[in-house]
A and B are shown apart, each in its own frame.
Chain A
Amino acid sequence: MIKRGLAVAGFLVLTSCGGGVGGGPPSNITVFAAASLQPAFDKIAARVKSQYYLATTFNYAGTQTLTTQLIQGAQADVFASADTAHMTTVQNGGLVGGTTSVFAHNKLEIAVERGNPKRIHSLADLARSGLVVVLADPSVPAGKYAQEALANAHVTVHPASLEPQVTGVLSKVALGEADAGIVYVSDIVTSGKVDGIAIPDAENVIADYSIARLNSAWNRAGADEFFAYVLSSQGQAILSGAGFETV
């Protein structure tokens, strides 16, 4: 659970010198976003900051953790979920202000060590004995999708661990402690420390990422700006560069 804060003081100095676009006061928003969005959203935040003088503070974590935090009363302006189910939970809790919108898709891939020393080419290979396979826990969207993909491929895997965050799967493969794991394509594109083995569409599962402004937003205008930027052609280009499929 990484929280990235921006130096608000420095930001205020910068914007007061630059004199804000449209004469509005400098503003800040808090975005709760699925851990897998971090590389793309960090870039989007940098653009939004330079274009709209809008500073973004992120709480990146597993979607289910963020959902729990929001239900428990955490204040945030925007929520970006790695699936639609958790967004629905948040919406049913009366926490969404405005519309929800699917803004990206992600597919699963098999993460293996650089150079694929264990010669893993398909989901079926993950059932081989002696292989250390790590999956995300089924309570996490990535883990639920992995179970679906394995079921689609009629493969039974005996995982060494069920990680509560998809980033845990990735880091264990990157450290060389696990031979393979099932993660998102975007994780592999942005990690650069593992190789990805594609899963055929017939077996794969498409994750729908959903975004919404929250009722607890302190900065509605800022939240709407961020929301719009993610769905704009520039925002979509950044997501595409980070390995997501755009809408």
Chain B
Amino acid sequence: MSQARIPAPVLALAAAGLLFFLLPLAGLIVRAPWGQVGPALVAPETATALGLSLFCSVTATAVALVLGIPLAVVLSRTQGTLRSVLRALTTLPMVLPPVVGGVALFLAFGRRGLVGEPLHQAFGIQIPFTTAAAVIAETFVAMPFLVIAVEGGLRSMDHRYEEAARALGAGSWRVFARVTLPLLRPAIFSGAVLCWARALGEFGATITFAGNLPGRTQTIPLAVYVALETRPEGAIALSLILLAVSLAILIGMRDRWLGSP
């Protein structure tokens, strides 16, 4: 044993923290109307909502990877006030109540929005109330998680490998693609997982900007919310399904990507 023993107070608090997380989940499982999980699982609405949830959250994560990694690279290279401002702007969607985020998305991409109005007038494109709107809402809320994780990875990275590659004559793109990105893989992976998880659970911005229509914008969290009012057992069953799918994916991906320890 090379590692120091964990002090007892730390262990006790860790146990309390774990319990705090697990109790609500235990509540869901203990109180679950297990008889209803089967019917809820095979109900066509569930498959539709689950499929939509997975599609939107994966697409949002993909968009976040394409836009967020470059953003993190730029962020990690800036200094001083510019860095504080850029970083604050990037983290804003994390602290903004998601419903406010949804309204802000209207004001940008809605029919009367800064970008949405010209789009609507020139091409007749309407973004709100579409599946694309659900993806946009999820990306808006979830991308900061990826940016922060990747930026953290960049800052703690050993930059001597990049310098070595550069000294050996590699161009800036080659260094980025062949050295920086592979070194960043753990940070990108954990950022992507956080981002995906946040996108999967997204509710407020989605229901505001994309509305709630089964098959088009009603993801599982929205379906759960609507069901909670009318048939709470169905809502718990739906929540359990989302929980099980998320757990399976998270555990499965971790092994595949990072290799189990």
Contact = CB atoms under 8 A, between A and B. Distances in A.
Interface of A: 62, 64-65, 67-68, 132, 134, 137, 139-140, 159-164, 168, 172, 175-178
B32 interface: no
B218 to A, nearest CB: 8
6 contacts: A64-B230, A137-B212, A160-B129, A160-B213, A161-B213, A177-B112
Contacts of B208: 168
B211 A62 contact: no
B88 interface: no
B247 interface: no
Contact of B212 (A62, A164, A176): A164
B226 A164 contact: yes
B228 interface: yes
A178 B112 CA distance: 11
Given A137-B212, A159-B213, A175-B106, A164 B225 contact: yes
Contacts, number: 59
Contacts of B228: 68
A139 B230 contact: yes
Given A175-B110, A176-B111, A163 B229 contact: no
B128 interface: yes
Q: Which 5 A-B pairs have the closest CB atoms?
A: A161-B211, A160-B129, A64-B229, A139-B230, A176-B112
Nearest to A165: B207
Interface in B178-232: 207-208, 210-214, 217, 225-226, 228-230, 232
Given A62-B229, A132-B129, A139-B226, 16 more contacts: A65-B229, A68-B228, A68-B232, A132-B126, A134-B129, A139-B229, A139-B230, A159-B213, A161-B210, A161-B212, A161-B213, A163-B211, A168-B207, A172-B211, A177-B111, A177-B129
Contacts of A176: 110-112
A243 B173 CA distance: 65
A245 B129 CA distance: 34
Contacts of A163: 207, 211-212
A74 B126 CA distance: 41
Interface of B is mostly: loop
A134 B229 contact: no
Contacts of B214: 162
B183 to A, nearest CB: 44
Interface residues on B, range: 20 to 34
A68 B232 CA distance: 9
Interface string B103-118: 1001000111000000
Contact of B112 (A65, A68, A175): A175
A139 B227 CA distance: 8
Nearest to A130: B124
B67 to A, nearest CB: 25
Contacts of A159: 213
A186 B45 CA distance: 34
Contacts of B226: 137, 139, 162, 164
A178 B225 CA distance: 22
B211 A164 contact: no
A161 B126 CA distance: 14
Given A177-B112, A177-B128, A68 B212 contact: no
Nearest to A169: B211
Contacts of A132: 126, 129
Contact of B211 (A64, A68, A139, A160): A160
B112 A164 contact: no
B229 A162 contact: no
A139 B225 CA distance: 11
A65 B229 CA distance: 6
A142 to B, nearest CB: 13
B207 A162 contact: no
Contacts of B213: 159-162
A82 to B, nearest CB: 13
A115 B38 CA distance: 51
Interface string B232-252: 100000000000000000000
A64 B111 CA distance: 31
A67 B228 CA distance: 11
Contacts of B225: 164
Interface in B93-139: 103, 106, 110-112, 126, 128-129
